Amino acid sequence: MDWVTGLVPGVKENYNACLIIVDRFSKSMRCLPCHKEDTAINTALLFWNNFISTCGVPKLIISDRDPKFTSEFWTKLYDILATKLAFSTA
């Protein structure tokens, strides 16, 4: 998971970023419109509603060290879901 930011805001919802989720098993990618200013909780809800609800709980999430993924909220969510978080080197 990672973000693409710096996008030109849309007209209706004013989204200025996308949360990119790649499923390494199926090789599918999801680009979820969001706001650069979204909190960890907003990001978790976006992830839950648009990925977990349709694909299930992942066993492993690979991401950079963005504070949205390393916050106490996400750490507890990973524990509850029994999901491991691995950080990329980039």
pLDDT tens, residue by residue, 16-75: 999 999 888 888 899 999 999 988 888 888 988 998 888 888 888 887 777 777 777 777
Residues 6+ apart with CB under 8 A from 51: 21, 30, 32, 58
pLDDT of residue 90: 62
pLDDT of residue 17: 94
6 pairs with which residues across the strands?
A: none
Distances (CA, A) of 6 to 20, 69, 79, 87, 89: 14, 19, 32, 23, 22
Domains of the chain plus CATH, in order, are 2-87 (3.30.420.10)
pLDDT of residue 15: 93
Report the sign of the C-alpha dihedral through residues 21, 39, 33, 15, in that order: negative
